[in-house]
Amino acid sequence: MTVPVWNRLHGETLDWAIQANDEWVASLSEDHETLQRSPETVVLLFGPTQVGKTTLLLSLLGIADGLAFDAVQNVLRGGRQHGESSTATPMRYARSLDDHWRCHRPDGPGQSADEMRAELANIRRQVEDGSWQSTDPISLYIPACYFAESDPSVRVAILDLPGIAAANPQERALVERIAQHHLPTASLILLVSTANRLGVFEPEKLGQELEQLKGWVRSPIRYRLVITYAYSQDSVRRWRKSEIEAGRTCDLDALRGFFNREIAHFELKMPADLPDRIYPLELGDSWAGMALNGGDHHRWSTRVQASARQALTADIRRSCEGERRLRISKEVREQVYWRQEDLWHQWRHNRRASRMAASKCQDAITAVEARKARWHKWYLRYDKRLSRLDAIEALVVDQVRSLLGDASVASHTISPSPGVQQQQLLHGCEPIKPTVNALQEWLVTDQAKLFDVCDRLTEWFNEKTSLQNKPLLPPHCAQVADIRKLLNAYRMDAYWTWITNQFESDSTALADAAAAQRKAMQDHLSKQLRERLQDARDTPRVRRRIAAQQRDQCNIDIAKLRAQQAHIREERKQSWELHLSRMRPIRHDLKRVADFESHMTNAHVRESKRVSSMVRDAVRVGQPALALARLCQMRLTRNIYRKYCTGAA
């Protein structure tokens, strides 16, 4: 058995997988019969609006520069002004068979530029009002007279898609449906942005705009970065000047390294092979302006851009190769599983963070409720204290009157009745002798009883209020002072009752003074006790107010925390709904992956049966070497199946 035969058999080991993969990719399109006869590579252009995607596509198609390029762009804008997004729905661009515009079918009726412009404007209106729901690309056939060469440089299907983060909600929803439909089958995806907006390539940011793009750094086979307006930037001019002064080469690889470092400034974790996936270009009016100005920088830009275009064209052509398409299917399959795991990882992380936030919020509520309970306890304590003081105040007048009543030993009248020889000022006591000294002693005794009333009232008040107040004193009484002064002025002790009624007059004055003093004490002591009660209320009243304020503040804090709890629950609900919405396209992709695995498994079974049959045929005709080669082929077939279709080592 010769070496060429071994090589031929070894080369056949991939044929079954490539053919099965092409059949599966073709089956995803409605026009699968045509695609099976002539497979084509699908290249997608994604990026923000107004970064030159359509211009890039026309350049790759080979549209001639100058008036032809401007004429094609003018039609494709569909009547929209310069600076507005022109792509309303996925567009597939190809070359017309003649010099007429055509839409949908290459053999359809030819249209003029005005007719095509009006049709594209009508499609955009349907997209913006939500009536356009199709995710199938519109095939647009450009007149052959606009192409620079008879044979275009790229023989692939290039789809120009609406910009990411479209301002119109209907357009954004369409972009998401388009991505779900076309991204899994694309052979090459060009992420396009200008040189001054490199931050849009950040995976997390792209993932927020379109979930399917989040893992682009993990797909080195399919994703490329196209940086437009790359040569007209002042930063590039300064970089080139410094490189020349340092004696370093300024070629395509050097420029790729420069942009790789620029992207690194955004603290993006990029793969080591990223520079090889960067294509710096200058398009449209900006490039025409550089050409008009000329100069050394333009000549250098022309050389480097030519290298970049050649490299991009070669990269696109390589994506047409059968084994490359098989590797792309493997990468798409792995991306779906990674997206699923990453999405669940995000959900678990968000759920854990939400639970921690809810737990902290509940702990804070518990702490505030405990603080509120303490303040409420203090509030009740001070409120009870004030209520007790109010109750004491209600008893003050009666208590003063009661104690003064006990000390009311003075008769209110001492006028002698007929037949009474001596006056009785103290009920139940010995009659007072008609002497000055007796009246003075009675006054001293009476004053002592009033002081005793004050002491007893002070003791009662302190006991009731639990305070230590200064002793109360009887109020000053002018009548008592006058009678005391009068009695002290006498030089004789005895009254001459048989001559004058002075004793009767002084006794009456003394009784009146004692009564007046008791009346004054009733008002004075009551007022003094009320004032002391008012002073005693100040501190608990202030503290009760503080306790009420703190308790109310606790209620406010609890309300805020409960609102925060409700917000956390709502965020958790929204997070779960967002997770479900993101899982829906992944489930769709998982079903597609399952179909791919089933399709490849069936193809592997058929190939294994075919090779087994050839092994038996070789044994039957007596060719052991060929049988051994076929057995090796079967082993390689199984390894290929495990490598590309199951992910096993």
Question: What does the mean pLDDT of the chain come to?
Answer: 81
Both structure tokens of 523 = 């008002």
- For the residues of 588-599, what is the DSSP string, one character each? HHHHHHHHHHHH
Which pLDDT score is estimated for 572? 92
- Alpha-carbon span 592 to 365, nearest angstrom: 49
Instruction: State the Cα–Cα distance between residues 409 and 429, nearest whole angstrom.
Output: 10
Is 50 exceeded by the pLDDT of residue 169? yes
Categorize the per-residue pLDDT at 139 as very low, low, confident or very high, splitting at 50, 70 and 90.
confident
Q: How far apart are CA 510 and CA 360, in angstroms?
A: 80
Q: How far apart are CA 54 and CA 160, in angstroms?
A: 6
How far lies 612's CA from each of 593, 599, 615, in Å?
28, 20, 5
* pLDDT at residue number 568: 94
More confident residue, 278 or 209: 278
- Mean of the pLDDT values across residues 284-293? 80
pLDDT at 295 over 60: yes
Mean pLDDT for the stretch of residues 389-407: 80
Judged against a pLDDT cut of 90, whether residue 13 lies above it is answered with: no
- Each as own residue / partner, the long-range contacts of residues 410-419 (CB below 8 Å, 24 or more positions apart, any chain) are 410/446, 410/510, 410/511, 410/514, 410/515, 410/518, 411/511, 412/511, 412/515, 413/508, 413/511, 414/504, 414/507, 414/508, 414/511, 415/504, 415/508, 416/504
Q: Lowest-pLDDT range, 171-185, 278-292, 489-503, 602-616?
A: 171-185
Q: What are the structural domain ranges in the chain?
A: 49-163, 333-649
Reported as a single tens digit per residue, the pLDDT across 42-54 is 788 888 777 888 7
User: Which one has a higher pLDDT value, 491 or 412?
Assistant: 491
Residues 62-76 pLDDT 10s: 788 778 888 888 888
Give the max Cα distance, the chain. 180
Question: What average pLDDT does range 199-209 have in this prediction?
Answer: 80
550 pLDDT exceeds 90? yes
pLDDT of amino acid 278: 92
**pLDDT tens, residue by residue, 577-618:** 988 988 888 888 888 888 888 888 999 899 889 888 988 888
Question: Is pLDDT above 90 for 239?
Answer: yes
SS (H, E, C) 451-487: HHHHHHHHHHHHHHHCCCCCCCCCCCCHHHHHHHHHH
Radius of gyration for the alpha carbons in the chain, expressed in angstroms and rounded: 53
The least confident of 315-324, 425-434, 541-550, 576-585 is 425-434
The answer to whether residue 33 scores a pLDDT higher than 50 is: no
